[in-house]
Structure 1
């Protein structure tokens, strides 16, 4: 029995974005951009820097640009432009050798005369070929080799203008050559009519119906045909410009022998003139220096010059240095052709990432036209930093995620899936609803009853009952920026801000930066703050602002967190002026101690986070902490965020198990003072 055999054909997907491509990793991009913003970059520059660097498993623009530059160097170092001349020389030498052998066997006077003519051929290849244009060959092999020279020249000259013609016309007949001449005449007539401004649509369709086989790229209009022809003709001219004057002279002499017909050169010269007039914007004057060992023919050399032009375009597109630059400008077809499909996939992913950062609202353009991190982006960054702090905490104490914070507090409406060890109350409504939906999805009938599964259980999240007024004082002095503590400081502030705004919404957080003077900042302002190079550490002013914050919330538990890497070197005078002195002036120390004592009298739970190994700072911080029964923690920079978050949680007493045990973790590097 005969069976129908169904054949399937597979090709590259071309219906839009690849449906199987992995989604862009916005989290990785946002983390990197946020890190650069906190280091002082503008969001726009930070995004561009990330696109330049790429991701963990993705090439960036710099990687792609480097490969483009390397391929360009390889093309110039590997090739030279005299391949056609070499091939002609080989055919000529073979023809002359065969002819000499034949003449040696003949005894007639004509043979002696021709032998003298062969022996006295010019040393120039082109001149020798022209000299033999009317020679009557005695050897049939020699005659065939000489005819191959004319055929080769014709095919190479055509291949310069029409890619693939060299192969298509191999072993061509006189009829094939006449069809080419016919196409050139019609093409020049079409371009001349187009140059005169005539309506050439119908003429173009007739031309393609008749000669379409010569144009595999299948242009759809006269302009598309013009663009394709002009780009290749300009590349051919640049190849000619790249040759030495001697090579150009030889090529001009040889061209007259192409197919043994001067008419071909006349048609090609007319075509070049038409293309130059219609597309003057193409690069007709450039050139390159080739110094490789591999000779290439006229057609292949023209293709290499086109490749070089493509690579130059890609280099500009990947540089993104021009006005209005966008990654959508990168020609993915050119990139795939020059560097392979993987490079095109990476470039497309970067472009999608650039669009996604704007479309998802992570980056917004302000009224001044500059990109800024949106509140949504700030929340995402805070979540990532808070997770990092939680990981560092749990990794050292076996404690659980900071979602446990406030477990003993009041319900605030949110629920989450139950996890082993949870002690929060069940949300019965959500739990039963999940069970009903699961039974129905499995094809059961919930009206006959449902059996709970552990996967159905959801627990209610809680907030801590005790409110806190939290003041995070961060040193923004010269030394913080100089010693690489600027970004960790910002990351710490953002992590704490995220924790309080998402898990302890009843608490009141105030961020205070203190350098030569102090100021209250919102999280966006602090995150975008450039490194401050003014000398001065005004802890006195920062404590004044913190105490004002505590007084505004008299029913809340005051929590004072101070991150610094230096002793106080400035203070506010009664008239509001800043006094700076290094070494620290006794009055500066006295003013700072007075405000710290005021915080202590309000019951503030105080923690100093000492950065650096300065002995003088260590002694000062220890004595300050002892005065108010506070503590000192000396974390590594990478642990600063976890230290501050853990200290905050610990200050809330029973509201969080993770914070209460945190002080023990520091061992020799941190210690309790006063208790």
Structure 2
């Protein structure tokens, strides 16, 4: 048995080394949704950090906790703690003195009683009145001396945190050291204001008086910053008191340590600091509403806490130019709000850093952030899993990575080539690795390493390639009626399926609004809502036909997603003609191009969004004309309907292999004409 015993304690060496990694997939999904809704990637990331997610606290929630802490400070405390403590000491001193005078029978005792009974009701005035009083009770005299000592320590604690406790039971020698420190400090600050101070002067000051400054400033500017922040908080505390409280404290200050010189030095210090740091908040105030009294030092500390909370709120807002998560003071958040808040903020900061460093976001030449191709693949993968779930109608068999996309096996094998999706022949692959290892002088008994050259795949029968044109409506109505993001999600899911599982197929994305244009998936995903009116199906069909002609050996597949009848067409001179209701010439041009596409052998499917009867009649007639199909899916099922139609066009085998043997059109409504 080991003589050493294990000891357990909270880990305090930085971020938890056993904490799970940040969930970039969840963040990317939310950011991708906002980007597809028309926001910039940078704005989308900021919104995610602000809102958070189901499992991740966002900046808004942290800001709420900061505001709650601030309100708690104001509602719990009041600023009359010193006045209360002075009043208690005074009342106790007066009571003990009365007891002593009642026992004394001389005439001077009667005169003293009259003086005691005629003390003014104001605490400060009573303390001043008793400044030259000859106390008969030793305990009363001690309590009165404690008042002067308390006032001195509180006055110093306002400017130098911790002085109240440090100078408790202080001797005259201790007080003289404080006075000398204040005098030397004022000399240093005055020299600095004139530009005459030296680093040697600062060093000598710290060597002599460094014990008064536990934060260990490294130069005079750090010293001034620290003192000015505290002094400004002290001034804000005085501003937050009532006029009566301020007047009482000003009158009492003359009794501090029984030495007016101390207050003169402190007054000079405040003047020097305010001149050197005019940018500090010297004029602010707060409204304290609680019952727990704070002394001058503790009250000043509370005002500093409030200032720190305000600074944290500004950092958490991330609303200023150049804002970054690294700006947030994690240590201050832990100290003022709690460790949980600090952990949440640190996680958000790591999320931001990971999003920027992982390659999911790229910065363009104009300085804007864009979703990278890597991010597009990740989003497409997630969307395709969702589509698979909707198509299968059940949990399990969701991830297309486990499905084959090849045709029937021919019985032969061949060397793997880039882009192949056929399954590995494991026996041949391992045999190749063993033979290669032996030929290279290795020892297979000690294990082998498979090289890409060893891989053989199962050869399959030739399968027809598809040439796919996805036409998506980008007109005004798509954005207005909430169909913008589902349209983009659909395009991204289909793009990922073809690029990852059917690499031999040729997909072209065509957006059509007032005019049509071919788009990359990144371009379509980042496309802002188009507010120009017009649905130019004619132009889109022209581009689709051109795409089909470029791939004469592939099976053409035309998928059209729209929520409106065609209202625009191209004139012979290339200009766009728009009219609503649809002009007969626009309809005729659209029908003519659809016939041209049909003559190329295209399998046509229309995806009708919305319940407009006119659109339904037009789409039905168009589909019937080319022996096509019509799908009227709900928005949530649009992606499943489009992907299902594409897979269906490749034959039932492809569909079953991709999505676990279930063959159908999703939860859309199929109408075969």
TM-score w.r.t. the length of structure 1 is: 0.88
Rate the CA distance shift 1:108–1:432 in 2: closer, same or farther, 3 A.
Answer: farther
* SS of aligned partner of 1:134: coil
Deviations 1:476-511 (A, max 9, x none): 122211111100100111111122222222211111
**Of residues 604, 607, 620 in structure 2, which corresponds to 1:606?**
604
Q: In the alignment, which residue of structure 1 is the partner of 2:214?
A: 216
What is the Cα deviation at residue 11 of structure 1? 7.3
> Where do residues 577-588 of structure 1 align in structure 2 (5 Å cutoff)?
577-588=575-586
Instruction: State the distance in 2 between where 1:180 and 1:38 align.
Output: 65
Q: In the alignment, which residue of structure 2 is the partner of 1:664?
A: 664
Contact 1:414 1:461 in 2 (8 A): no
Q: In the alignment, which residue of structure 1 is the partner of 2:417?
A: 413
Deviations 1:407-440 (A, max 9, x none): 2289763699xxxxx9834244654689999xxx
Deviations 1:200-223 (A, max 9, x none): 544544544444433332333333
**Of residues 28, 31, 38 in structure 2, which corresponds to 1:40?**
38
What is the Cα deviation at residue 4 of structure 1? 9.1
Contact 1:469 1:550 in 2 (8 A): yes
Contact 1:562 1:608 in 2 (8 A): yes
Rate the CA distance shift 1:152–1:373 in 2: closer, same or farther, 3 A.
Answer: same
Q: In the alignment, which residue of structure 1 is the partner of 2:138?
A: 140
Contact 1:646 1:659 in 2 (8 A): no
Instruction: State the distance in 2 between where 1:411 and 1:623 align.
Output: 49
Q: In the alignment, which residue of structure 2 is the partner of 1:419?
A: none
Contact 1:464 1:504 in 2 (8 A): no
What is the Cα deviation at residue 108 of structure 1? 1.6
Instruction: State the distance in 2 between where 1:449 and 1:330 align.
Output: 51
Q: Does 1:367 align with 2:371?
A: no
Q: Does 1:28 align with 2:26?
A: yes
> Where do residues 413-432 of structure 1 align in structure 2 (5 Å cutoff)?
413=417, 424-428=423-427, 430-431=429-430
* Unpaired segments ≥5 residues, structure 2: 409-413, 437-442
Instruction: State the distance in 2 between where 1:597 and 1:9 align.
Output: 78
What is the Cα deviation at residue 72 of structure 1? 2.3
What is the Cα deviation at residue 133 of structure 1? 0.8
Q: In the alignment, which residue of structure 2 is the partner of 1:268?
A: 266
Q: In the alignment, which residue of structure 2 is the partner of 1:379?
A: 377
Instruction: State the distance in 1 between where 2:404 and 2:577 align.
Output: 42
* SS of aligned partner of 1:474: strand
Contact 2:423 2:458 in 1 (8 A): yes
Instruction: State the distance in 1 between where 2:404 and 2:641 align.
Output: 16
Instruction: State the distance in 2 between where 1:413 and 1:426 align.
Output: 14
* SS of aligned partner of 2:283: coil
Contact 1:571 1:591 in 2 (8 A): yes
Instruction: State the distance in 1 between where 2:637 and 2:432 align.
Output: 42
Contact 1:564 1:609 in 2 (8 A): yes
Contact 2:640 2:666 in 1 (8 A): no
Q: In the alignment, which residue of structure 2 is the partner of 1:441?
A: none
What is the Cα deviation at residue 326 of structure 1? 1.7
What is the Cα deviation at residue 251 of structure 1? 0.9
**Which moved further from structure 2: 628-637 or 492-501?**
628-637
**Of residues 509, 516, 519 in structure 2, which corresponds to 1:518?**
516
Q: In the alignment, which residue of structure 1 is the partner of 2:231?
A: 233
Contact 2:58 2:348 in 1 (8 A): yes
Contact 2:419 2:503 in 1 (8 A): no
Instruction: State the distance in 1 between where 2:7 and 2:63 align.
Output: 38
* SS of aligned partner of 1:24: coil
Q: Does 1:569 align with 2:567?
A: yes
**Of residues 149, 152, 160 in structure 2, which corresponds to 1:151?**
149
Q: Does 1:643 align with 2:616?
A: no
Instruction: State the distance in 1 between where 2:243 and 2:394 align.
Output: 76
Instruction: State the distance in 2 between where 1:342 and 1:590 align.
Output: 66
TM-score w.r.t. the length of structure 2 is: 0.88
Instruction: State the distance in 1 between where 2:28 and 2:446 align.
Output: 49
Rate the CA distance shift 1:457–1:519 in 2: closer, same or farther, 3 A.
Answer: closer
> Where do residues 88-237 of structure 1 align in structure 2 (5 Å cutoff)?
88-197=86-195, 200-237=198-235
Deviations 1:28-75 (A, max 9, x none): 222222111110111221121112112332222222222222222332
What is the Cα deviation at residue 334 of structure 1? 1.8
Contact 1:512 1:542 in 2 (8 A): yes
Contact 2:467 2:548 in 1 (8 A): yes
Instruction: State the distance in 2 between where 1:533 and 1:463 align.
Output: 48
**Which moved further from structure 2: 125-134 or 426-435?**
426-435
Instruction: State the distance in 1 between where 2:148 and 2:434 align.
Output: 86
**Which moved further from structure 2: 193-202 or 68-77?**
193-202
Instruction: State the distance in 1 between where 2:434 and 2:610 align.
Output: 55
What is the Cα deviation at residue 640 of structure 1? 1.4
Rate the CA distance shift 1:522–1:464 in 2: closer, same or farther, 3 A.
Answer: farther
Deviations 1:97-128 (A, max 9, x none): 23223323332211111111111111211111
Instruction: State the distance in 2 between where 1:415 and 1:546 align.
Output: 25
Contact 2:536 2:566 in 1 (8 A): yes
Instruction: State the distance in 2 between where 1:203 and 1:461 align.
Output: 86
Deviations 1:655-674 (A, max 9, x none): 4425797663547x422514
Instruction: State the distance in 1 between where 2:460 and 2:266 align.
Output: 83
> Where do residues 433-448 of structure 1 align in structure 2 (5 Å cutoff)?
446-447=444-445
Rate the CA distance shift 1:125–1:400 in 2: closer, same or farther, 3 A.
Answer: closer
Q: In the alignment, which residue of structure 2 is the partner of 1:342?
A: 340
Q: In the alignment, which residue of structure 2 is the partner of 1:440?
A: none
* Unpaired segments ≥5 residues, structure 1: 417-421, 438-444
**Which moved further from structure 2: 277-286 or 333-342?**
277-286
Instruction: State the distance in 1 between where 2:462 and 2:377 align.
Output: 21
